């Protein structure tokens, strides 16, 4: 029973409600839909700012949606005690002249169920990143625009996978920069939970069976070198899930103009996401250099 409970908390979808809307923040937006290469329908908001530069946001997994994170309905195991609304930093981006595409990954929020109904931490979700970029690239209003990728946790993993696959993101020369916030390897997450070895192995075995792939050995790290655009890596140094070696390896593997921002925040994983919404200029000004 405990094995299933832990597995559900790590890869089961359905705990990522869309709890607010752009209208709540006075933002001009339309509801949009587009399809991934395998036919999964993805839902998003296209928030309207300038037409020459667009930020595409990819959120973190399981407990997040395009709206962000809410503690409502999370029981005793809350990542954060208040809402983390991504529409706060969307306001900042609009003020800087950007439009923003905020979309739900498959199996999250208002998007459709994937062929695999479980969250895979990037190997399946990378198709959604490609679909989002393709949608903006071919949108009649944004033809020729510059794109920046705001990729959060699983969003960063998915984006990295998307650069390593054939016919992936590398063909889109209009992508000019990426911010990767707290990329996390599955084995580092399991290790941080501090489970007894036998239990960790049972959970990973069930997760891999559900996902249809070995999540322990499947890694986005070999694809980091394929990222061809300037990249900012952001990480809370007090994150309880942090493996500093993994973050340093991700940064070292980048073969492009790059920077690494270590934040000194509360000892919670979600502190880095909350910081983005409360102090967006500290992170998002990176885009102004390249877009």
Tell me what the mean pLDDT of segment 170-178 comes to.
Answer: 98
Q: What is the pLDDT of residues 138-161, one digit of tens each?
A: 999 999 999 999 999 999 999 999
Query: What number is the average pLDDT over the span 124-133?
Result: 98
Angle among Cα 117, 123, 124 to the nearest 5 degrees reads: 35
Predicted confidence (pLDDT) per residue in 242-272, tens digit: 999 999 999 999 999 999 999 999 999 999 9
The string of DSSP letters for the chain reads -HHHHHHHHHHB---------GGGGT--EEEEEEE-TTS-EEEEEEE-S-SSEEEEEE--SSS-BTTEE--TT-TT--S-SS-EETHHHHHHHHHTT-EEEEEPPTTSTTSPPPSS-B--SSTTTHHHHHHHHHHHHT-TTSTT-EEEEEEETHHHHHHHHHHHSTTSGGG-TTEEEEEEES---HHHHHHHHT--HHHHHHHHHHHHHHHTS-TTT--SGGGGGG--S-EEEEEETT-TT--HHHHHHHHHH--SSEEEEEE---SSTTHHHHHHHHSHHHHHGGGGGT-
What's the CATH code of the domain at 214?
A: 3.40.50.1820
Distance CA 34, CA 103 (A): 10
Note the pLDDT tens digit of each residue in 47-102: 999 999 999 999 999 999 999 999 998 877 789 999 999 999 999 999 999 999 99
Which has the minimum average pLDDT: 47-61, 98-112, 185-199? 185-199
**Domain range enclosing 97:** 2-289
The average pLDDT across 179-184 equals: 98
* Arithmetic mean of pLDDT, 39-47: 98
Structural domain count of the chain: 1
Confidence of residue 168 (pLDDT cuts 50, 70, 90): very high
- How far is residue 253's CA from residue 250's CA, in Å, rounded to a whole number? 5
- The model's confidence at residue 222, banded by pLDDT at 50, 70 and 90, is very high
pLDDT at 5: 86
What's the pTM value of the predicted model, to 2 decimals?
0.97
User: What pLDDT was estimated at residue 77?
Assistant: 74
């Amino acid at each position: 029973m405990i094995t299933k409970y832990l597995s559900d908390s790590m890869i089961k979808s359905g705990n990522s409600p869309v709890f607010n809307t752009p209208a709540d923040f006075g933002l001009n937006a339309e509801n949009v839909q587009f399809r991934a290469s395998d036919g999964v329908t993805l839902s998003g908001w296209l928030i309207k700012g300038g037409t020459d530069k667009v930020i595409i946001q990819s959120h973190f997994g399981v407990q997040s949606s395009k709206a962000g994170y809410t503690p409502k309905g999370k029981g005793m195991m809350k990542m954060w005690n208040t809402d983390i609304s991504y529409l706060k930093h969307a306001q900042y981006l609009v003020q800087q002249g950007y439009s923003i595409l905020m979309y739900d990954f498959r199996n999250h929020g208002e998007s459709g169920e994937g062929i695999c109904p479980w969250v895979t931490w990037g190997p399946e979700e990378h198709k959604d990143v490609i679909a989002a970029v393709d949608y903006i690239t071919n949108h009649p209003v944004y033809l020729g625009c510059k794109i920046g990728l705001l990729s959060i946790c699983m969003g960063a993993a998915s984006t990295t996978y998307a650069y390593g696959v054939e016919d992936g993101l590398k063909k889109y020369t209009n992508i000019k920069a990426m911010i990767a916030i707290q990329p996390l390897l599955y084995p580092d997450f399991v290790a941080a939970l501090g489970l007894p070895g036998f239990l960790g192995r049972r959970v990973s075995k069930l997760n891999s069976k559900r996902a249809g792939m070995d999540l322990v050995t499947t890694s986005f790290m070999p694809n980091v070198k394929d990222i061809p655009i300037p990249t900012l890596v952001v990480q809370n140094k007090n994150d309880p899930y942090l493996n500093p070696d993994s973050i340093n390896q991700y940064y070292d593997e980048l073969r492009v103009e790059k920077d690494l921002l270590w934040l000194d925040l509360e000892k919670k994983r979600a502190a880095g996401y909350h910081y983005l919404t409360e102090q967006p200029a500290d992170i998002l000004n990176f885009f102004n250099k390249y877009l």
